[in-house]
Amino acid sequence: MAFTVTVMGLLIFAAAVAANFAGMILTSTILGPKRRNSVKDQPFECGSLPVGPTHTRFHIRFYLTAILFLIFDIEVVFLYPFITILRPELGVTGLWIMGAFLAVLVFGLAYEWRRGGMEWD
Amino acid sequence: MHTALDSLNAAMSAHPLLVQALAAVAKTVFMMTVVMLIGGLILSWVERKQSAIMQDRIGANRAAILGVRAWGLFHNLADAAKGILKEDFIPPDANPFLHTLAPFLAVSTAVVAFAVLPFGGTVHLWGQSVDLTIAPLPIGILFVWAMMGMGVYGVVLAGYVSNNKFSLLGCLRATAQVISYEVATGLTVLGALLFYRSLDFRDMVAWQMGHNLGQVPFLGHLPDLGAVLAHIPAWGVFLQPLGFVLFFTATIVEMTRIPFDLPEGESEIIGYNIEYSGMKFMIFMMSEFVESLLFAWVIVLVFFGGWSLPGLHLGDGVAVLFGHALPYASGVALEAAAMALKIVFFLWFQMLVRWSLPRFRYDQIMHLGWKIMLPLALANLAVTGVLGVLAR
Amino acid sequence: MGLREVLLAVFAFGALAFALAVVSTRNTVYAALEFVAHLLCLAALYCLLDAPLLGVLQVMVYAGAIMVLFLFAVMMLDIQETGRESAFQGPGQVAGALLLAALLFALLVFGADRFPAAALAPAAAPGAPGVGADNVVRVARALFERGALVFEAVGVLLLTAVVAVMVMAKRRLEN
């Protein structure tokens, strides 16, 4: 039962958090004034004239970062269960297993570095 | 009176689930109060006052209730009232639902992460053991990272639905910065976790309380130092000094505070939240303070021994402080105070950093994350792992 | 029916409802968010079934990394403006979708008890105290003792992904 109780506690907390912040936003929506006019409704674009559509293409680097994050995130995720049994159970074998895995990924990191995948100038 | 108490006791003993449910509600109320008070009110006051002291100004001091100014504390109440009463402006081309969902997601994911942070050990009520953690998940630290990952949606949505090129650009920059450092945050704690061999915060604190540096593999084997080291508690910061410095830096980037506050850059660059006003804008600001508290708490649990106080030992109903017996209750109170003081120290230290350092450039942040922090964290982990295994 | 069964039913229903919403919503951003909600329901199911590690990794990797990438793609292409057609076009697509769903269902019904779940199954009764903590260590053993070779293969696969990403992005970076 203990674990179900844990999930129940989490759900009660999450519900309280959701109700609290939904309530804060809702109260301000109800109590705040609503005075629209045509100038206020224009996108203010930090003082410059709006040109072209909002959703234009942006630089490939952002995708590159997102994809690389995904790859290295998976690497980190493997390390978390690994550290719980490295010293008591796996020992030197574990060092070889993770060493080979990390060496492959460090090679990937070095390749990406050399090809300029991490340049932001 | 006694009969009422007796029937309460009988009812509680008969329904273990009721005890747990009531405990869950009580823990929720406690945690929400702590987060809303510190993250919502006190930290923004500390930020104003501390910057004022550091810059030799007076700082916020005008707001008063019946002539009582209380060092400007009421400014935050005034701010909250102002946020509620301001116009909630939604740009005409923005989707109102998603525009509202963004700040909600940003703050609630950060607050839900507190569910796995323990504020004490275990207490016994009506024959039930109740953990002083809302959700004592065995994968606690991963839960915090998962919630940090979910927080990105608030930023992405805010930038996307605002229908403004500058918020879109701001959100792309913010997302790329935050996700880059999620890798570094995840890697830098691993060295300390190698010692604790658990992903549960309670196990981490228990390990740090139960060991001293003389018992640590490798360090304890050093010939002359062993006896001296036996007097130092095995806190994560002593085991992993580099890991701690890297982790502390990565968390400041994660919560996007100065010197890494490019997502907001309030003074000159424009962030993802420019099309937000009133309460929604304040909630974005608040999520930053909530994250400060979250990371201060995580740092204390992982690197500074949680509620452990050197010299204090709590046994079965007895407390001993440097050989002197204390009432058990005062021992528990001392532990709670030690934990609170450590967290307050790190909140103060985060503020100190925030008001001392100038902002980095964007390319410098990405360079630091991928080319310095990531290789250093990997090297730190490799050295710790090899030494730990060979000297076990 | 205990608390555990009630929660399982609630999250199973939620997962199904959000999955249906993902394939039937036209707005891509909404569909992506519904997919995240679906993943959260699945994570809760895993937690209730004494596999908290799987549950939290589901949120970290799928919801926290893969779906962010999806949203990036949606934001750049602004598919919301182009994809105004209905999600299902014509009876052929509906029939195909139903056929696939039936196949998947059959696979689950007939294949479920052939899955070697014993290795990962908790030692104690489901939901007993301490089962969750055991989960991480058991997954680690399965992964690094019996599955070490597969694990190394995953490393090579990830390396391939890094190289592929760089090759694809290289032309754009040089412009």
Task: With H, G, I as helix, E, B as strand and everything else as coil, classify residue C172.
Answer: helix
CA distance B202 to B135: 11
Comparing CB atoms, the residue among C29, C59, C133 nearest residue B146 is: C59
Going by pLDDT thresholds of 50, 70 and 90, the confidence category of residue B211 is confident
Chain B nearest CA to C173, separation (Å): 15
What is the model's pLDDT at position C86?
Answer: 59
- Virtual CA dihedral for C112, C117, C122, C128, nearest 10 degrees? 0
Q: What is the mean pLDDT of the segment spanning B274-281?
A: 88
CA distance B48 to B63: 14
What is the model's pLDDT at position B16?
Answer: 77
Chain C residues whose C-beta is within 8 A of a chain B C-beta are: 3, 29, 33, 36, 47, 52-53, 56-57, 59-60, 63-65, 68, 71-72, 75, 132-133, 135-136
Comparing CB atoms, the residue among C52, C63, C65 nearest residue B139 is: C52
Chain B positions in Cβ-Cβ contact with residue C65 (cut-off 8 Å)? 149, 179
Q: What is the CATH number of the domain that holds C44?
A: 1.20.120.1200
Q: Check CB contact under 8 Å for A67 and C69.
A: yes
Query: Under CATH, which number does the domain A2-115 receive?
Result: 1.20.58
CA distance A85 to C53: 15
Comparing CB atoms, the residue among B88, B136, B186 nearest residue A28 is: B88
Task: Identify the closest residue of chain C to B171 by CA–CA distance.
Answer: C72
Q: Looking at the predicted structure, is the pLDDT value of residue B348 above 60?
A: yes
Going by pLDDT thresholds of 50, 70 and 90, the confidence category of residue A22 is very high
Task: With H, G, I as helix, E, B as strand and everything else as coil, classify residue B268.
Answer: coil
Nearest to C47 by CA among C6, C88, C7, C2: C7
Chain C positions in Cβ-Cβ contact with residue B145 (cut-off 8 Å)? 60, 64
- Per residue in C4-54, pLDDT tens? 888 899 999 999 999 999 988 888 888 999 999 999 999 999 988 888 899
What is the model's pLDDT at position C131?
Answer: 47
According to DSSP, the β-strands at B319-321 and B324-326 are: antiparallel
- Per residue in C117-149, pLDDT tens? 655 555 555 444 444 557 888 889 888 988 889
Q: Are B109 and B154 in contact (CB under 8 A)?
A: yes
Q: Looking at the predicted structure, is the pLDDT value of residue B392 above 70?
A: no
**Across all residues in chain A, what is the average pLDDT?**
85
DSSP state letters, B137-184 = -TTHHHHHHHHHHHHHHHHHHHHHHT--HHHHHHHHHHHHHHHHHHHH
Q: Would you tell me how many other CB atoms lie within 10 Å of the CB of residue A105?
A: 20
Q: Any chain A CB within 8 A of the CB of B180?
A: yes
Which runs of E-coded beta strand occur in chain B?
Answer: 122-125, 128-131, 312-314, 319-321, 324-326
Q: Check CB contact under 8 Å for B386 and A95.
A: yes
Q: Check CB contact under 8 Å for B371 and A58.
A: no
Nearest to B239 by CA among B209, B219, B210: B219
Q: What is the mean pLDDT of the segment spanning C54-62?
A: 92
Q: Check CB contact under 8 Å for C52 and B200.
A: no
Chain B positions in Cβ-Cβ contact with residue C29 (cut-off 8 Å)? 98, 157, 160-161
Which of the residue ranges B212-226, B304-318, C6-20 would you say has the lowest mean pLDDT? B212-226
Q: Any chain C CB within 8 A of the CB of B149?
A: yes
In a domain? residue C114? no
Q: Looking at the predicted structure, is the pLDDT value of residue B130 above 50?
A: yes
Number of domains observed in the structure of chain C = 2
Chain B nearest CA to A33, separation (Å): 5
Q: Which is more confidently placed, B253 or C117?
A: B253
Q: Are B256 and B174 in contact (CB under 8 A)?
A: yes
> Is B373 exposed, middle or buried, given 0-12, 13-18 or 19+ CB atoms closer than 10 A?
buried
Q: Check CB contact under 8 Å for A81 and C143.
A: yes
Comparing CB atoms, the residue among B138, B149, B168 nearest residue C60 is: B149
Going by pLDDT thresholds of 50, 70 and 90, the confidence category of residue A15 is very high
Which of the residue ranges A98-102, B37-41, B52-56, B311-315 would you say has the lowest mean pLDDT? B311-315
What is the model's pLDDT at position C115?
Answer: 65
Q: What is the mean pLDDT of the segment spanning B58-72?
A: 82
DSSP state letters, A59-99 = -HHHHHHHHHHHHHHHHHHHHHHHHHHIIIIITHHHHHHHH
Residue B281 identity:
F
What is the model's pLDDT at position A78?
Answer: 93
Chain C nearest CA to A13, separation (Å): 14
Q: What is the CA radius of gyration of chain C?
A: 20
What is the model's pLDDT at position C129?
Answer: 45
Q: Check CB contact under 8 Å for B112 and A46.
A: no
Kindly give, in sequence order, each residue whose CB lies less than 8 Å from that of residue B169, ignoring residues fewer than 6 positions away.
A58, B159, B270
CA distance A5 to B118: 16
| H or E stretch covering A9 | helix A2-31
Q: Looking at the predicted structure, is the pLDDT value of residue C167 above 50?
A: yes
Q: Any chain C CB within 8 A of the CB of A121?
A: no
Q: Any chain C CB within 8 A of the CB of B98?
A: yes
Task: Identify the closest residue of chain B to A65 by CA–CA distance.
Answer: B176
Task: Identify the closest residue of chain B to A13 by CA–CA distance.
Answer: B28
Chain B positions in Cβ-Cβ contact with residue C135 (cut-off 8 Å)? 138
- Structure tokens that stand for B341 in this block: 């003081």
Beta bridge partners of B320: B313, B325
Q: Check CB contact under 8 Å for B168 and C75.
A: yes
**Across all residues in chain B, what is the average pLDDT?**
87
Mutation target to probe the A interface, by most A beta carbons within 10 A, among C165, C174, C175 is C165
Q: Check CB contact under 8 Å for C173 and A8.
A: no
Task: With H, G, I as helix, E, B as strand and everything else as coil, classify residue B23.
Answer: helix
Chain position carrying tokens 């909404």: C30
Chain C nearest CA to B167, separation (Å): 12
- Structure tokens that stand for A108 in this block: 């990937």
Which of the residue ranges B9-23, B287-301, C26-40, C146-160 would you say has the lowest mean pLDDT? B9-23
Angle (CA) B159 B163 B169, round 5°? 45
Q: Looking at the predicted structure, is the pLDDT value of residue B34 above 90?
A: yes
Q: Which is more confidently placed, C154 or B164?
A: C154
Beta bridge partners of C98: none
Residues C77 and C148 in one domain: no
What is the model's pLDDT at position C133?
Answer: 59
Domain ranges of chain A: 2-115
Chain B nearest CA to A28, separation (Å): 4
Chain C positions in Cβ-Cβ contact with residue A6 (cut-off 8 Å)? 132
| H or E stretch covering B331 | helix B328-356
Domain termination site, one of C44, C60, C81: C81
Chain C positions in Cβ-Cβ contact with residue B101 (cut-off 8 Å)? 33
Going by pLDDT thresholds of 50, 70 and 90, the confidence category of residue A12 is very high
Q: Looking at the predicted structure, is the pLDDT value of residue A75 above 60?
A: yes
Q: Residue length, chain A?
A: 121
In a domain? residue C168? yes
- Per residue in A53-62, pLDDT tens? 777 777 778 8
Residues C140 and C73 in one domain: no
In a domain? residue C109? no
Task: Identify the closest residue of chain A to C125 by CA–CA distance.
Answer: A1
- Structure tokens that stand for B120 in this block: 């004490």
Q: Looking at the predicted structure, is the pLDDT value of residue B35 above 90?
A: yes
Chain position carrying tokens 């992993």: B240
Chain B positions in Cβ-Cβ contact with residue A46 (cut-off 8 Å)? 166, 270, 274
DSSP state letters, A48-68 = SPP-S-SS----HHHHHHHHH
Interface list for A 75-94 with B (CB within 8 A) = 76-77, 79-80, 83-88, 91-92, 94
Q: Which is more confidently placed, C130 or B145?
A: B145
What is the model's pLDDT at position B136?
Answer: 87
What is the model's pLDDT at position C175?
Answer: 58
Going by pLDDT thresholds of 50, 70 and 90, the confidence category of residue B383 is very high
Q: Are C126 and C133 in contact (CB under 8 A)?
A: no
Nearest to B203 by CA among B248, B148, B115, B140: B140
What is the model's pLDDT at position B267?
Answer: 66
Task: Identify the closest residue of chain B to C71 by CA–CA distance.
Answer: B156
Q: Which is more confidently placed, C126 or B132?
A: B132
What is the model's pLDDT at position B298?
Answer: 96
Q: Looking at the predicted structure, is the pLDDT value of residue C88 above 80?
A: no
Q: Note down the domain range covering C154.
A: 130-175
Q: Looking at the predicted structure, is the pLDDT value of residue B23 above 90?
A: no
Beta bridge partners of B313: B320
Nearest to C4 by CA among C39, C37, C34, C49: C49
Comparing CB atoms, the residue among A7, A81, A101 nearest residue C7 is: A7
Q: Looking at the predicted structure, is the pLDDT value of residue B238 above 60?
A: yes
Longest dimension (CA), chain A: 71
Interface list for B 312-351 with A (CB within 8 A) = none
Chain B nearest CA to C171, separation (Å): 21
Q: Looking at the predicted structure, is the pLDDT value of residue A121 above 90?
A: no
What is the model's pLDDT at position A116?
Answer: 79
Task: Identify the closest residue of chain B to C27 by CA–CA distance.
Answer: B95
Comparing CB atoms, the residue among C50, C163, C172 nearest residue A60 is: C172
Q: Check CB contact under 8 Å for B198 and C133.
A: yes
- Per residue in B155-197, pLDDT tens? 999 988 887 888 888 888 889 899 999 999 999 999 999 999 8
Q: Which residues of B213-232 are buried (b: 16+ CB within 10 A; e: fewer)?
A: bbebeebbeeeeeeeebeee
pTM: 0.91
Q: Are A82 and C140 in contact (CB under 8 A)?
A: yes
Comparing CB atoms, the residue among C53, C64, C75 nearest residue B139 is: C53
Chain B nearest CA to A63, separation (Å): 9
> Is B355 exposed, middle or buried, given 0-12, 13-18 or 19+ CB atoms closer than 10 A?
middle
